[in-house]
Chain A
Amino acid sequence: MAEHVTLTEPYVEPRQQRQADFMGMYVFLGTETMLFGGIFALVFAYRTLHPDAVAEAARHMRLWIATANTALLLTSSLFVALAVHAARRGGRRAVAGWLGLAIAFGAAFLALKGVEYWKDYTEGLMPLIGPHASVRDGPAALFIDLYFVATGLHAIHMTVGLTLLGTIATLVGGRRKGVPSQAVVVEMGGLYWHFVDVVWVFIYPLFYLARG
Chain B
Amino acid sequence: MTAEPALQTPEEKVSYLAAGHSVRSWLLTTDHKRIAILYLISITGFFFIAGIAAALIRLDLLTPQGDLLTNEGYDRAFTLHGIVMVWFFLIPSIPNTFGNFLIPLMIGAKDVAFPRLNLLSWYIYVLGGLFTVYVLIVGGVDTGWTFYTPLSTMFANGHVIAVAIAVFIVGFSSILTGLNFIVTIHKLRAPGMTWGRLPLFIWSHYATSLILVLATPVLAVTLVLLASERLFHLGIFDPALGGDPLLFQHLFWFYSHPAVYIMILPAMGVISELVSAAAHKRVFGYWFIACASLAIAAVGFLVWGHHMFVAGQSIYASAIFSFLSLVVAVPSAIKVYNWTATLYKGDIRIDPPLLFAMAFIGLFTIGGLTGLMLALLAIDVHVHDTYFVVAHFHYIMVGGAVSAFFGALHFWWPKITGRMYSLIWGRISAGLIFFGFNLTFFPQFILGYLGMPRRYHVYPPQFQTLNVLSSAGASLLAAAYVLPFFYLVYALRNGAPAGPNPWNAAGLEWTTPSPPPKHNFETTPEVDRPAYDYPLAKRSADG
Binding site for B on A (CB under 8 A): 9-12, 16, 19-20, 23-24, 27-28, 30-39, 41-42, 45, 49-50, 53, 127-128, 138-139, 141-142, 145-146, 148-149, 153
Contact = CB atoms under 8 A, between A and B. Distances in A.
Nearest to A10: B111
Contacts of B244: 45, 49
A153 B221 CA distance: 10
Pick from B110, B114, B238, B242 the residue with the most CB of A within 10 Å.
B242
A128 B233 contact: yes
B500 interface: no
B111 A9 contact: yes
Contacts, number: 117
Contacts of A128: 232-233
Interface stretch (B222-230, B281-289, B320-328, B342-350): B222-230
Interface stretch (B153-161, B182-190, B397-405): B182-190
Nearest to B220: A35
Given A34-B214, A34-B217, A20 B187 contact: yes
Given A41-B250, A139-B241, 6 more contacts: A27-B182, A45-B250, A50-B242, A142-B235, A142-B236, A149-B228
A27 B242 contact: no
B30 interface: yes
B243 A142 contact: yes
A127 B232 contact: yes
A177 B115 CA distance: 21
Interface size bucket, B side?
Answer: 35 or more
Can you list the 9 inter-chain pairs with the closest CB atoms, starting with the nearest?
Answer: A139-B242, A38-B221, A34-B217, A35-B217, A10-B111, A145-B234, A20-B187, A31-B217, A10-B110
A37 B218 CA distance: 7
Contacts of A39: 221, 225
Contacts of B228: 145, 149
B110 A145 contact: no
A82 B222 CA distance: 37
Interface SS, A side: helix
B218 A141 contact: no
B124 interface: no
Interface of B: 30, 104, 109-115, 175, 179-180, 182-184, 186-188, 213-218, 220-222, 224-225, 228, 232-236, 238, 241-244, 247, 250-251, 254, 524
Contacts of A16: 187-188
Interface of B is mostly: helix
A133 to B, nearest CB: 14
A98 B221 CA distance: 33
Contacts of B242: 49-50, 53, 138-139, 142
B179 A31 contact: yes
Given A10-B104, A38-B251, A41-B251, A24 B114 contact: yes
A32 B179 contact: no
B241 A24 contact: no
Contacts of A139: 241-243
5 contacts: A10-B104, A28-B175, A34-B214, A41-B251, A142-B238
Contacts of A37: 217-218, 221
Given A45-B247, A139-B243, A141-B241, A23 B183 contact: yes
A23 B187 contact: yes
A23 B186 CA distance: 9
A30 B214 CA distance: 7
Nearest to A148: B234
A146 B30 CA distance: 40
B217 A9 contact: no
A45 B30 CA distance: 44
B234 A149 contact: yes
A23 B236 CA distance: 35
Contacts of A19: 187
B213 A30 contact: yes
B229 to A, nearest CB: 8
A32 B179 CA distance: 12
B282 to A, nearest CB: 29
B236 A31 contact: no
Contact of B235 (A10, A11, A127, A153): A127
Given A10-B188, A49-B242, A27 B179 contact: yes
